Structure 1
């Protein structure tokens, strides 16, 4: 059983407990370095910094109201990770270069988007990373691939949200009917946008972000209905999972540990100092998170014979 890591200092391997289940590996997968620039990058994905010799790709999904390519580039995620990791951002409909497309209202888009990425995903091992809403998207991608293809992520990194079996119990997420002050507070909490920015200039920032964030919160509510209509028998995944959360986040940390129920692989649960957007609050915390990601991917891309 995974254990909570309660510490305000850097997270080290000795401080992280894992489940006792065997680690999942892709039988026969070639983990050797491949010097190549992909010719199969679909329109929905963008490589933040091309690294032809990378051993693994980390595909990142946006949080509510966010844009993966812009936000992870602003965080300098590629620069924070070693050269054997190539960071890829997923382009969400209704924002960025896909702003002309209708925003998604559920996760029914997963099959089409995933199928368009199959050639890209077969080029080398890949892992998924998501925070908040992005964690749900990453899980749904991993679930669809596991149920419908022979492809598997070598690892699933989730952050700041509960697993799907508990998602149905969350309160309604939308901001409709709230006063402007209440909208500001909720948007600040869910997207990390400073309240001072939201309230400045006659709420211009609020007006700009509200349509995108509202669509994402409506998607979260629709997702609960989609989960209720399914008859999943857990575990649904085989890959290993790391679940992270800020130690001052509103989420029940015991519920975060229940990510272990969705996979037959191992699960790690770790906490970092901070609130919902803990990795944006302090550079040191972001460094601790990326160091943990790098260690995990190094283990996952090391052939079993060399462990």
Structure 2
């Protein structure tokens, strides 16, 4: 039976480093559908599909971050026998962080690297008004503000009616999140930001670096909040460079990332935050 958590093939005998990717609010695993072809040989991309979107459309979306972190830890526990890394953009970055702490708490293998993209540091309070329980019109207005959602989708009332439950769950996950101080991670950390991102200012990114005692760095790329798509070649090349040192030495084609620019992926899901 196909594992519902994996958008593409379930991890088998990956010779390089497994890269598990988590979507932004309103997004799905298809946001990373091109990454497998763009990544070099030593990076094996595995987009993760959360309940309530994509191939899991009919499932109830999860609205609490601790619950989704526990569910993901259960789903990945059998796939941590090889070197692996976590990547998440915006909401996905926060999930990746809490998933790493959950795995540590269970005594499971830690990622060789944590990549957080377009996400404010977890110990910072949210500054935008909660909208997960707001009227539909307010949720749609928030999506317009966030950008990244085609106008024709926002104007499609039937489609929006289908998508709103997952969107509300994602906003609830973010808006009800409570940061609890723990010892810093011991995992190397790379934080990505966009130089024109109006949602996550640079000072909200720098504070991430205190969340690990291992090597950490901030990489600022051209683009607004969804630079994940517009600067995809730079994102993947940076990930590949970070992981080449931990890829198995006998991998014949382990090399620094060579990614070609592509346009933003098309998805029936709506990008949120």
TM-score range, shorter chain: 0.7 to 0.9
Please identify the structure whose Cα radius of gyration is greater: 1
Over 3 Å counting, the alpha-carbon distance change for 1:105 and 1:175 in structure 2 is closer
Q: Is the 8 A contact 2:132 2:169 kept in 1?
A: no
Secondary structure of residue in 1 paired with 2:60: coil
Match of 1:222 among 160, 176, 180: 176
Separation (CA, whole Å) in 2 of partners of 1:44 and 1:135: 17
Match of 1:132 among 87, 90, 101: 90
Once the 2 structures are TM-superposed, how far is the Cα of residue 209 of structure 1 from its aligned partner?
Answer: 2.5
Match of 1:279 among 210, 221, 228: 228
Over 3 Å counting, the alpha-carbon distance change for 1:208 and 1:100 in structure 2 is closer
Aligned to 1:269: 218
Once the 2 structures are TM-superposed, how far is the Cα of residue 267 of structure 1 from its aligned partner?
Answer: 1.0
Q: Is the 8 A contact 1:64 1:190 kept in 2?
A: no
Separation (CA, whole Å) in 2 of partners of 1:297 and 1:85: 7
Q: How many pairs align?
A: 247
Over 3 Å counting, the alpha-carbon distance change for 1:100 and 1:49 in structure 2 is closer
Q: Is the 8 A contact 2:188 2:216 kept in 1?
A: yes
Residue 102 (structure 2) pairs with residue 164 (structure 1): no
Q: Is the 8 A contact 2:192 2:220 kept in 1?
A: yes
Once the 2 structures are TM-superposed, how far is the Cα of residue 189 of structure 1 from its aligned partner?
Answer: 4.5
Aligned to 1:25: none
Secondary structure of residue in 2 paired with 1:60: strand
Aligned to 2:72: 113
Secondary structure of residue in 2 paired with 1:164: coil
Once the 2 structures are TM-superposed, how far is the Cα of residue 279 of structure 1 from its aligned partner?
Answer: 2.7
Once the 2 structures are TM-superposed, how far is the Cα of residue 188 of structure 1 from its aligned partner?
Answer: 3.8
Secondary structure of residue in 1 paired with 2:244: helix
Structure 1 residues not aligned, in runs of 5+: 1-38
Once the 2 structures are TM-superposed, how far is the Cα of residue 172 of structure 1 from its aligned partner?
Answer: 3.2
Aligned to 2:62: 104
Once the 2 structures are TM-superposed, how far is the Cα of residue 301 of structure 1 from its aligned partner?
Answer: 2.8
Once the 2 structures are TM-superposed, how far is the Cα of residue 185 of structure 1 from its aligned partner?
Answer: 4.1
Match of 1:89 among 47, 55, 73: 47
Aligned to 1:65: 26
Query: TM-score w.r.t. structure 1 length?
Result: 0.73
CA-to-aligned-CA distance 1:252-271 (integer Å, 9 cap, x gap): 20120111111111111011
Q: As a proportion of its length, which structure holds more helix?
A: 1
